[in-house]
Structure 1
Amino acid sequence: MALIAMVSAKGSPGVTTAALACTLSWSSRTLLAECDPAGGDILAGYLANSEIPPIGLLNLAVAELRGQADTTEFNKQIIDLDLKHPGYRHVLPGINDPVQIGTVRPVWPRLTDFFLGLEYKGPGYDVIADCGRLATSAPPWPLLHRADLVVLVVRATSLRAILPAIPAIGQLRKELTDNGRGAGSLALMLVGRGSEPASEIERRLQVPVLAELPEDRAAATALSDGIGRLRDSSPLLRAAAAAEPILRQAIEQRRARLTATRAGARG
């Protein structure tokens, strides 16, 4: 169980679609937390045909400000995404107006503590935080600083699509080194395929590529817009499922290195 933050440099490389595909396909109990300061997309997209009351991140933030963000309150704010496997795949809807980030921003540190603590509550969760674009005035830095893994989602269809990742990686490296668990928590997830192989993108950006998701228009449309049938056998969901053990291994290795470093420092 872990806290994984997914983020993009700018544009629309498909962070929400990737995060939702992972949430719906992973074998572990998984929560997708919509932490995008620009607002969440799932209620208006994947869940557009469902009647959902006004619940989610904003209510949880208000409860946290009042000192009432406990497991009971959390359970009131999440939606079960998979009725075939109830209790395993949930979403915490994000804000629906960027103005609301003013309420959430002061409690990002405490919300991050809450998300991290979900690993140890029964039943535990993997938390995938959709953090949207870095190119905003209010990225959720406290969450990014403390995530077990920060996954930069990059559209890999052309060199031009890759270039915005360069300054974003520089910014993330500095933030994670100065305030977080170190730049070693940074990784790439590629969406689509162009002329550049993953190994070349990894070399150019000096960040490991841990997962690749294919262009799968049918599945992506179902996930982003709620249109059409989403098949478990779709290339997108199968690739997202295949990414789970790779990301989990990277997290376990990183945690082991951090533990060894702390033990050495104490010694």
Structure 2
Amino acid sequence: MAIIAMVSAKGSPGVSTAALACTLSWSRPTLLAECDPAGGDILAGYLSGLEIPPRGLLPLAVADLRGRAREEFPHQLVDLDAGDPGRRLVLPGITDPVQANTLRPTWERLATFFADLEHQDRGIDVIADCGRLTTSAAPWPLLHRADLILLVLRPATLRTISPALPAIAHLRRELTEHGRGPGALAMLTIGESTYPNRELEQRLQLPILASLPDDPRSAQVLSDGGRLRRNPELLRAAASIEPVASRTIAERRTRLSATAVPTEASNA
């Protein structure tokens, strides 16, 4: 795998919890990058019980402007797994939405940097928590580069489902005009749905990649900190997403490679 971006539409929270659940449960080395322009939550939430010096996405972006992103990268991370260092990493996000403008000139290069992590000695997959699309400072270059974009949706009522329609349309336009096509886009649902999955897919014209249960107890720990129960339902379900995402990305890369060959041959 490589870059998996998670986003949400208005009125459908759960991106940060889903991204952290996947980071804690996947088997491959994984980096959770808090790329939400509204600000990161993990230092003030899940990791609030630890004294962690200032670090994260903003210092990395500044280092990138100086051509030192690779050297500075290890110093901006928080390691979540003391027993297996480097396996579950977090790059904390900005602490003030005003800082989002500072990131604008660097998103293109940061996206390339994240993509290259897959090819390092210990290949790292990036789960990018990109927050809500309603902001004017969304990290579009990162979304354009992502191998998989998951629209996180709580399909409990029509009120939570309706905002997904314009969000999906916006994503499709952006990915068609600037990315590698809308084929990277899918849904990750949370909790019970008002509609059967097939009907929801037809209404939104988007496939459901996977679903997570509504597990308030575990979600609260991932949001606010505390001790997780042993083998919680939320993390078990999140772990099951990894092989599906890996297969989906591999199949899409194969399709993209196949369509690129005739174009290259015709230009030869």
* Shorter-chain TM-score range: over 0.9
**Which residue number in structure 2 is paired with residue 217 of structure 1?**
216
Residue 66 (structure 1) aligned with residue 66 (structure 2): yes
Aligned to 2:251: 253
Runs of 4+ residues over 6 Å off in structure 1: none
Residue 231 of structure 1 deviates from its aligned partner by: 3.1
Distance 1:51 1:151 in 2: 32
Shift in Å, 1:81: 1.1
What is the identity, as a one-letter code, of the residue corresponding to 1:22?
C
Question: Percent identity, aligned pairs only?
Answer: 63
Question: Does structure 2 retain, via aligned residues, the 8 Å contact 1:232–1:238?
Answer: no
- In the TM superposition, what are the counterparts of 1:2-21 in structure 2 within 5 Å? 2-21=2-21
2:121 matched residue in structure 1: 122
TM-score of the superposed pair, with normalisation by structure 2: 0.96
Structure 1 segment 118-197 matched on structure 2, within 5 A? 118-197=117-196
The amino acid of 2:235's aligned partner reads L
For 1:100 and 1:160, how far apart are their aligned partners in 2?
31
Q: Tell me the CA shift for residue 198 of structure 1.
A: 1.7
Contact 2:156 2:193 in 1 (8 A): yes
Does residue 22 of the first structure (1) align with residue 14 of the second (2)?
Answer: no
> Contact 2:118–2:124 at 8 Å: present in 1 too?
yes
**Corresponding letter in the other structure for 2:251:** Q
5+ long unaligned stretches in structure 1: none
Does the 8 A contact of 2:12 with 2:160 survive in 1? no
Partner of 1:265: 263
- Give the aligned residue type for 1:121: Q
Is contact 1:21-1:223 (8 Å) kept?
yes
d(CA) in 2 for partners of 1:85, 1:201: 40
The one-letter code matched in structure 2 to 1:3 is I
**What is the aligned-residue RMSD (CA, Å)?**
1.0
CA distance in 1, matches of 2:4, 2:76: 20
> Given that residues 26 and 239 in structure 2 are in contact (C-alpha distance below 8 angstroms), is that contact kept between their aligned partners in structure 1?
yes
Question: Is the 8 Å Cα contact of residues 13 and 191 (structure 1) preserved in structure 2?
Answer: no
Q: Specify every segment of 5 or more residues in structure 2 that has no aligned partner in the other structure, as ranges.
A: none
Partner SS for 1:10: coil
Which deviations, in whole Å up to 9, do the C-alpha atoms of 1:141-183 show, x marking residues without a partner?
0000110011100012122211110000000000000000101
Q: What is the aligned length?
A: 265
1:219–1:230 contact (8 Å) kept in structure 2: yes
- The CA distance in 2 between the partners of 1:65 and 1:195, in whole Å, is 47
CA contact (8 A) 2:154 2:193 kept: no
Q: For residues 83 and 113 of structure 2, what CA distance do their matches in structure 1 show?
A: 27
Deviations 1:89-126 (A, max 9, x none): 00000000011112111100000010001011111101
TM-score normalised by length of structure 1:
0.97
Deviation at 1:82, TM superposition (A): 2.0
**1:6 partner SS:** strand
Amino acid at match of 1:200: E
Q: Distance in 1 between matches of 2:145 and 2:85?
A: 29
